[in-house]
Each structure stands twice: as structure tokens, then as C-alpha cells.
Structure 1
Amino acid sequence: MGRLEELRHFNLLQWLREERQSRKLILFIVFVALLLDNMLLTVVVPIIPSYLYNLDESAELALKNQTAPGPDAAGSFHSIVSLYDNSVRTSGSNSSARPVDRVGPTGAGPGGPHNSSDCPQASSTLANENVRVGLLFASKATVQLITNPFIGPLTNRIGYQLPIFVGFCIMFLSTIMFAFSSSYALLFVARSLQGVGSSCSSVAGMGMLASVYTDDEERGHAIGIALGGLAMGVLVGPPFGSVMYEFVGKTAPFLILAFLALFDGALQLVVLQPTKVEPESQKGTPLLTLMKDPYIVIAAGAICFGNMAIAMLEPTLPIWMMETMCARKWQLGVAFLPASISYLIGTYIFGSLAHRMGRWLCALVGMALVGISVICVPFASNIYGLILPNFGIGFAIGMVDSSMMPIMGYLVDLRHVSVYGSVYAIADVAFCMGFALGPSIGGSIAESIGFPWLMTIIGIVDILFSPLCIFLRNPPGQEEKIAILMDSSCSMKTRSYSTQGTFYQGGDMDPEDDEYD
């Protein structure tokens, strides 16, 4: 029996040694890292607005009870909180507030139409949460925006596996902080800390994929699959967060994400064995040089403005739904489900199709479709009316991301040195600018001129930007690099996978052993 266990252990170790150089396993690790990052990014969307609103209401009620305690105050608390919150729990209490059937002035009984007094009004504390929620959501992207210019060049010097593992550690700490934070300040710190971990994971992950998938079409397919992890996180995050928040409480969804983070970290330790890698003599193009490339700027702009639409929706749509639809907490997350599903579909389909139809055309159509769909959102009168425009938004953003992420690596191959850390730092900066400016500006605009005008503005911006994608149709490049790219696409399987900044240097990996499927 002991001999059998030894053989199993030996076979497992042998399998792990072989799989450490597997492109598919690396793709899976990046997939899981993006899944975790974006689940944590979106799981807070339905939780934070309602949670902060109830924190404010509880604090205001406690102050009133101190000055004028009495039965009326308790009744006021029940009527205010019962509609929305069952997560602001007092210690030692196992019960949660539930919606109650009330008879309004019109005589509507249980199951009848909601009275306007059941919903927070535009002048209430809820409307003022737009700015605070927007700033909280934007803090992650802002910190990530600041961190990316340092992470990109760092990966060029020490490799990709150590930064992606550090990103996991920071992500785990942020998740635990979210689970047990009970104040706006601590939630803000947790969200900001997530930005550092996300920067490490996304920049290193995309750079790693671009390094091991050197063929342009295969790279596009691989990045499309990796973006599927992002899509899955966006897909699962809001409904998962809202349902868990409604029926279990705030802490539970974050503890589950912490467990997922531990799984990803263990996988990285076994497969990647994070260590510093000595760079090769080839030096990557400086970050500032890449930022001055007009074609890279256009691709980054498409990523930024495309994702800014959903970034503006995240903090403002739940509050608008609570004001106009009397939406329950579970509905605040489920409303994003069509966008998440369609984003997953879009990234999967256009990961390969965009290469055939032209990535510039795919991005142009996607940007225009984002704009049209966003403008249609305020016309919805209930949660069912949000299905079609949100589906269009997610599908269109999937078209843009699955086109522009691969084209970033292609532009570096075509016009610069084929070292990818810095260019994917720029791509992540563009993504972060959308998610930094979107919530912060969107919250202020929604508070000042209203949610419908906010959607109209960002929709027009996306439509006006879309024609710029035409410039990516045939970007000029160095003649010798064009010849190399054409030759590499024909002899992909005979090329070495020893790439600057990766753990394949000096390796004897045979591409035939792990042909990409």
C-alpha cells in the first residue's frame, strides 16, 4: 500500500514538472486570476450602495434615539430600513429585517402596488450616496492607474510569475478586509488595496500570455479565453453578491472569494514557482515611447471609453433603480446579469473572429453599439426593460476588449521591441482610467443633472470615438518586423518559447508537446 502511495506521489510530481511548461495551464492560471479580480470588482456593486445607505440611516436613527427615544422612533427605523436592508445586523441578533406589507394612502394592501413613500426619494439620503459610492468604486481603478506604470517595466526586469503571485497575496488581504470592514473608511482602504493587486495580476498575466503565444491569431484566441475569466467574474459577481447579501449577509460572499484566492495562490506556487528571472540582453521599448505611439493611444482609448460606460453604470444604476423601481437588493445585482452574459459571449466569439473580420472593424462596431445601448438604458421602467440595453452593452464591450487587447501585442511586434510588460501596463491603465473616471465623474453628473443625461453623454462620446478605429486598419510598421511576423505565422511550431521576462529562458520546451487547441 505504501509503495502504491509512493508511485502516485511520484506520478503527481512528474505531471507537475511537465505541466509547468504547459501553455494551457498558464492560460488557466491567468483565467482564474482575472476571474477572482473581477468577481471582487463587481460583487460589491449591489452591496455597497445599500450597505452604506443603511449605515447612514442607522447612524441617523441612533442619534435621534439618543435625543428623543420613544416608540415612534423605533417605528420610523422599521419603516425606513425594512425595505432595503437585512445586512446591517446588531451583535447577538440572528434575525434580519424583511420587507413588510403596508397599506398606503391609496388602500393598496399586501401584494398591491408600491406607494411612493416605500421608495427613497431623489431628495433623500440615498441620492447623496451617488458621490460617495462613485468615489469608493473609483478608488480601486485610481490606485491601479498609479501602480501600472511601475508594474509594467518591473515585469520586464524580473519576469511575470513573481508579480502575479504578489498580486494574489494582496488580493487575498483586500478580500478579507472587505469581509470584516464596517465603515466607509475601511471599505475605501480595501478597495484601494485591491487596485495594487489587480495591477500585478492583470499586467503580468497578459504579458505572460503574449510571451508564450507568439502567433497573432493564437494570441488573440488565448487572450479571448483569458478575458473569459474577466467576463465570468463580471457575470457571477453582481448576482452572487446581491443574493448572498440578501439572504446570508455582507461577510459571506467575500469569505468565499477569499477561499478562491487561496486556491489560485496554491496553483501558482505549484506551477509557476514564483522567483525572480534574470532578463535577457533584449531591452523593451520605454514606456513613454509606447505612450507616444498614436496607434497604441487609439487602441487604449477604445478600451478606456468602452469600459467607461459600464463603469458609470455600476454605482449609479442601482441607486436609480432604488429611486424609480423600488428595486429589492437581489434585483440590484441581477440587473447586470444580461451585460455579464453577453460580455462572456462577445469575448469568446470575437477572440478568434475579430482576427478574421479585422480587429479595427470589430472595435468600431463595438464602440458604436456601446453608445446606442447606453442611451437606451434610461428608457427602462422596470428591471425587465433593462435586459436588452444591458445585453447590448456587455456584448459590445466584449467586442472591443477582445479586439484591442491582442492588437496591443501586435502593435508592439509590428512597431517596437517584442517585450510586452509595458504595453499591457498601458492597456491596463486605459482600462483603469475608464473605471476611475467613470464612477467618480458619473456619480457627480447623476447627482447634478440626473441619470438619463449621464447615460446620454457617455453614449454620445462612445459613438463619436468609434470612427478613430479606422486608423488601426493597416498600421505602418518596420519592414523587417513585418517580414518576421509573416514568417513567424508560417513557422510557429518551430519557434523558441524562450522569451524575455518569462520562466522559459533556457528551457527545452518542445512546442509540439503542447500544441494549442
Structure 2
Amino acid sequence: MGGVGEWLTQCRESRKLILVIVAIALLLDNMLLTTVVPIIPKYLYQLHHPNYSAEVEEEPPPPSTTLPTTTITTTTPPLPPITELDGLSGPTPPAMEFLKNVTPPATPPDERRRRTGRMSHEDLVNENVEVGLLFCSKAVVQLITNPFIGPLTHRIGYSLPMFAGFVIMFISTLIFAFGSSYIVLFIARAVQGIGSSCSSVSGMGMLAERYPDDKERGNAMGIALGGLALGVLIGPPFGGVMFQFVGKTAPFLILAVLALGDGLLQLLVLQPAVMKQEEEAPTLLQLMSDPYIVISAGAITFANMGIGMLEPSLPIWMMDTMDAPEWQLGIAFIPASISYLIGTNLFGPLGHLMGRWLASLIGLFVIGICLMSIPSATNINHLIAPNAGLGFAIGMVDSSMMPELGYLVDLRHSAVYGSVYSIGDVAFCLGFAIGPALSGSLVQRFGFKWMLYGIAIINFLYAPFMYCLKSPPAKNHGERQGLIYGEKSSVRYVTYKNEDEE
């Protein structure tokens, strides 16, 4: 028993195991976030158009423009088809003239869509608004919750909110599994926002606390964001394939089982309990009035706003312009997810060496270029390069700005991280709230192409602000941490006292 207890103690003190737990929590949260991307548009369309069916093979053929041929048992030769009446010589009999002018009855739009298996362009464009609102509900609720979770971690620590995030995510997953109406699915997405706020703020704060060295912190957060990227990578194809071949409920039940495993791991290692912070924490108002923190958060918002707009609108645009099946709606996001995974792990350490401001500046420009390239695609293969570039560039920005927020708090405030990562998560959520919320209206008013051109221009205009983060000044706060810049932009921490106190 002593050996088991010692092993558990080592596990609970292991920084790497804490990193694994945070990465798994972000993976499952974002897997749930993106699993619905290929499911919801098609599922809602089927709810709104119950006569629509993709099983068009069993439907009767469309009506012909000629009269059906009939077997005649008399010796009188059959009448020629109507289309050949114009070739008859002599005057056309009145009966034949009448038959020529007969127009087959029009097929109702719903019936025509059901028979052809194609969806109405007008209905699909209108679907953008409802899908966009459902997708952004999670980000909006997370946005509202974050300012409360950050200060709460100062009072009770990180482990208890982290575990609460697991419980709420598990409930949300079950609601998604068994919900069968728009309002229930909307509630499930909104509830997930509360759980995401707990997991993201607590997880990032926990990593910042366990990895005080700036370089190690950047590496750890790059790995954690890699877990986020892996969830984004797996979610869409997992949801699309499971929905098409198994049904809506199955993918969410599988996610619920995986979430239970994560919850047990948290209970074993984190031992959720109230743990108060000893150091005085900066207030949210103090952090939000810091221009360098605001610039860092703004980069996260604008970098993610483009992909936030694409999540609800790209599947519908593909259904409309490419007649894409369900599995393609999810696979379209794979290049972005793979490259985001590569970008976050690469620029965790690389951003520290080359300068995080420069990595973010380049990333914002690349995001704009890729967004402007997407509308020119005519099939799913044309989406591979721009989506891959988009994911890689977003990874550059996220993996640079997330550790930058912790660095700015160390440099200009005090080493308590809950509030600053609630601001970082607010910035992330703003991108995924504004993007989906506006995408439907923007597509209706300006079209898919000009919507993406607009957000690309915003990224171009914001990129130069990253230069302000090249060497932010420190504030005097008694005994504080400063930076000594050496060759190749390498940095190391030193501790020194305020001269006024000596």
C-alpha cells in the first residue's frame, strides 16, 4: 500500500501529468465543439423539410415532357408523339392542337427536392442564420462566464473549476445525444460554454503556475493547444462519418464515455479541493486597462474569427455549390486541424526564439491570404491548401499569444493567472461568437466570398499592432521579474528588488 501511495503522490506532483490532463480536457471539449459541425446543418435541414430524403434511388422518375405510350389493340395506328406533331403535313386537327399546348403539372418545390436529392439554394442560404446562432451560443455563454471564473480561481484554486468543467461537458454531451429539436440543441451548445470556460481558464492558469519559466511555459502551452487542435481535427470527420452511417446519437455517446475517463483521471490526480492563492491577484479591470494585454487578446480574437465564420457557413456553401455529402462536410476541416496541430507545437518554442510578436504578425497576414483563397474553390480538393495555411497561421498566433499573456502578467502585474487567462479565453470566444453570429447575415447580404474578404482585410489591418509587443516595459511592483534580452532574442528570468525600497 505504501508503494501505491508513494506512486500516487509522485503522479500528483508531476507537471507532465498535469499537462496531459489539461490537454485531454481541451481535446474532448473541442472534439464536442466540432463534432456537431457536419451534423447540425444537415440535421436541421431534415427537421425543417421532413419530405426531403437523400434516398432518391427509390423515388419514381421525374415526369416526361411527352405523353406516355399506350398499347393500342385496335387496327387503328397509334397517334404520333406530341413532339412529332409539328412535322405533320397539312392542317393540324383541333384535338392535336390542344394536346400540343398541354403543359404537365408543376412539381411542388419540396417534392422536386425530394426526388432529385438536391437542396434548395434559397433554403440553404436561410439556414446559415439559424446554424450560425446555434454555433455561436456556446461562445457567447463562455464569454459571459469567463469574467466570473477567472477571479473564482484566485479564491478556490484551479482543480475544482477544472472538475466542474468536466461535469458540465458530460451533461452537455448527453443533451446533444438525445436532443431532437432546435431549442434543445441550442441549450446543449450553450451549456457547453459554461464547461468550456471552467476547463480553459483553469487549465491554462494551472499550466502557467506549474511552468514559471517563460520558455518551458511556451512549450507546455503549445502542447496543450495541440490537444485542442487534435480535438478540432478528430471532431468533424468523426461527426460526419458517424452521422451518415450510424446516426446522430452514437458520436455523442462515445464522447460521453471518453469524458467519464477524463473525469476519473482528474479525481485521481488533481483531487479537486479548495486551494486559495497566497499572492494578491490583479483585478480584471487592471488587466483590461493594460494596452499590451488588450493587443495580445485582440490578435487571438481576429485570428480565430475567420474559422469561426467558416464553421457554420463552409458546410452549407459546400452543400450548395459542390453538392457535398455529409462525410465531405467534416473532412473539409481536416487540413486546417492538422496544420493547427503542427503550428501550435512548432511555434510554442519557435515563437520564443524569433519573437512572439513577429510570429503573430506573420500569422495574421497568412490568415488573410488563406481566407481570400477559399471562395475560389470548386471542389473539396481546392480547399486543402487554403485550409491548411489557415490552420497553421492560427496556430502561430494562438501558441504565441497565450504564453505572451502569462509573460505580460509576470512582467507588469503579479504571478496569478486566472484573470488573465479568462481574458485570453474571452478573446478566443469573441472570435467564435462574432464569427458564427454574423456569418449568416453577412452571407445573405454580401455573399460567402465577400464575407471572407472582409475578415481577411481586418486581419491585414490589425497585424502591424503586433510590433507593440516587441519589448513591452515592466512595471515596478516591489520584488518582480524582469527580462534580460540577449543574442537571438533569447530571454532568461532574473529577480531584483525595487530601488525605492532600498
Shared topology, TM-score over 0.5? yes
Paired residue for 1:339? 336
Paired residue for 1:93? none
- CA shift, 1:119, in A, is 2.9
Q: Identify the match of residue 401 of structure 1 among 377, 389, 398.
A: 398
Taking the aligned partners of 2:204 and 2:254, their CA distance within structure 1 comes to: 25
- Residues 241-280 of structure 1: matches in 2 within 5 Å? 241-280=239-278
Taking the aligned partners of 2:201 and 2:63, their CA distance within structure 1 comes to: 57
Q: Identify the match of residue 29 of structure 1 among 11, 21, 25.
A: 21
Q: For 2:180, give the aligned amino acid.
A: S
Number of aligned positions between the proteins: 443
**1:214 and 2:212 are equivalent in the alignment:** yes
- CA shift, 1:478, in A, is 2.5
Contact 2:482 2:493 in 1 (8 A): no
- Residues 460-479 of structure 1: matches in 2 within 5 Å? 460-478=457-475
Q: Identify the match of residue 309 of structure 1 among 303, 306, 311.
A: 306
- CA shift, 1:444, in A, is 1.0
Contact 1:413 1:481 in 2 (8 A): no
- Residues 228-243 of structure 1: matches in 2 within 5 Å? 228-243=226-241
Q: For 1:36, give the aligned amino acid.
A: L
Contact 2:215 2:352 in 1 (8 A): yes
Distance 1:99 1:195, change over 3 A: farther
Paired residue for 1:348? 345
Paired residue for 1:371? 368
Q: Identify the match of residue 81 of structure 1 among 28, 53, 58.
A: 53
Distance 1:117 1:310, change over 3 A: same
Contact 2:236 2:331 in 1 (8 A): yes
Taking the aligned partners of 2:370 and 2:62, their CA distance within structure 1 comes to: 36
**1:322 and 2:314 are equivalent in the alignment:** no
Q: Based on CA coordinates, which of the two structures has the bigger radius of gyration?
A: 2
Contact 1:118 1:326 in 2 (8 A): no
- CA shift, 1:11, in A, is 3.4
Q: For 2:335, give the aligned amino acid.
A: P
- CA shift, 1:195, in A, is 0.3
Taking the aligned partners of 1:347 and 1:490, their CA distance within structure 2 comes to: 22
Distance 1:100 1:236, change over 3 A: farther
Partner of 2:38, secondary structure, is: coil
Taking the aligned partners of 2:215 and 2:63, their CA distance within structure 1 comes to: 64
- Residues 167-182 of structure 1: matches in 2 within 5 Å? 167-182=165-180
Taking the aligned partners of 1:45 and 1:490, their CA distance within structure 2 comes to: 43
- CA shift, 1:207, in A, is 0.3
Taking the aligned partners of 1:416 and 1:213, their CA distance within structure 2 comes to: 17
Paired residue for 1:163? 161
Distance 1:208 1:98, change over 3 A: farther
Q: For 1:327, give the aligned amino acid.
A: A
Q: For 1:419, give the aligned amino acid.
A: V
Paired residue for 2:281? 284
- CA shift, 1:127, in A, is 2.0
Partner of 1:484, secondary structure, is: strand
- 1:32-85 deviations in Å (ceiling 9; x for gaps): 000011001100000000000001111xxxxxxxxxxxxxxxxxx3xx321xxx
Contact 1:306 1:400 in 2 (8 A): yes
Distance 1:491 1:319, change over 3 A: closer
Q: For 1:396, give the aligned amino acid.
A: A
Q: Identify the match of residue 154 of structure 1 among 136, 143, 152.
A: 152
Partner of 2:49, secondary structure, is: helix
Distance 1:473 1:391, change over 3 A: same
Paired residue for 2:295? 298
Contact 1:408 1:423 in 2 (8 A): yes
List runs of 5+ in structure 1 lacking aligned partners: 1-8, 59-76, 83-96, 107-113, 495-517
Contact 2:410 2:481 in 1 (8 A): no
- CA shift, 1:101, in A, is 9.6
Taking the aligned partners of 1:223 and 1:337, their CA distance within structure 2 comes to: 22
- 1:303-341 deviations in Å (ceiling 9; x for gaps): 001001100000000000000000000000000000000
Taking the aligned partners of 1:479 and 1:287, their CA distance within structure 2 comes to: 19
Paired residue for 1:55? 47
- CA shift, 1:490, in A, is 5.7
Q: Identify the match of residue 182 of structure 2 among 174, 181, 184.
A: 184
Q: Percent identity?
A: 61
- Residues 394-473 of structure 1: matches in 2 within 5 Å? 394-473=391-470
- 1:436-480 deviations in Å (ceiling 9; x for gaps): 110010111112221111111111111111111110111111367
Partner of 1:20, secondary structure, is: helix
- CA shift, 1:301, in A, is 0.5
Give the structure-1-normalised TM-score.
0.82
Distance 1:324 1:416, change over 3 A: same
- CA shift, 1:102, in A, is 9.2
Contact 1:414 1:481 in 2 (8 A): no
Contact 1:367 1:463 in 2 (8 A): yes
Taking the aligned partners of 2:33 and 2:425, their CA distance within structure 1 comes to: 14
Paired residue for 2:130? 132
Taking the aligned partners of 2:404 and 2:57, their CA distance within structure 1 comes to: 50
Taking the aligned partners of 1:255 and 1:283, their CA distance within structure 2 comes to: 43
Paired residue for 2:119? 120
RMSD between aligned residues: 2.4
Distance 1:137 1:490, change over 3 A: closer
Taking the aligned partners of 1:188 and 1:491, their CA distance within structure 2 comes to: 47
Taking the aligned partners of 1:407 and 1:482, their CA distance within structure 2 comes to: 21
Paired residue for 1:20? 12
Distance 1:483 1:155, change over 3 A: closer
Q: For 1:342, give the aligned amino acid.
A: S
Taking the aligned partners of 1:283 and 1:21, their CA distance within structure 2 comes to: 24
List runs of 5+ in structure 2 lacking aligned partners: 65-112, 485-490, 496-502
Contact 1:308 1:438 in 2 (8 A): yes
Contact 2:154 2:276 in 1 (8 A): no
- CA shift, 1:12, in A, is 3.4
Q: For 2:473, give the aligned amino acid.
A: P
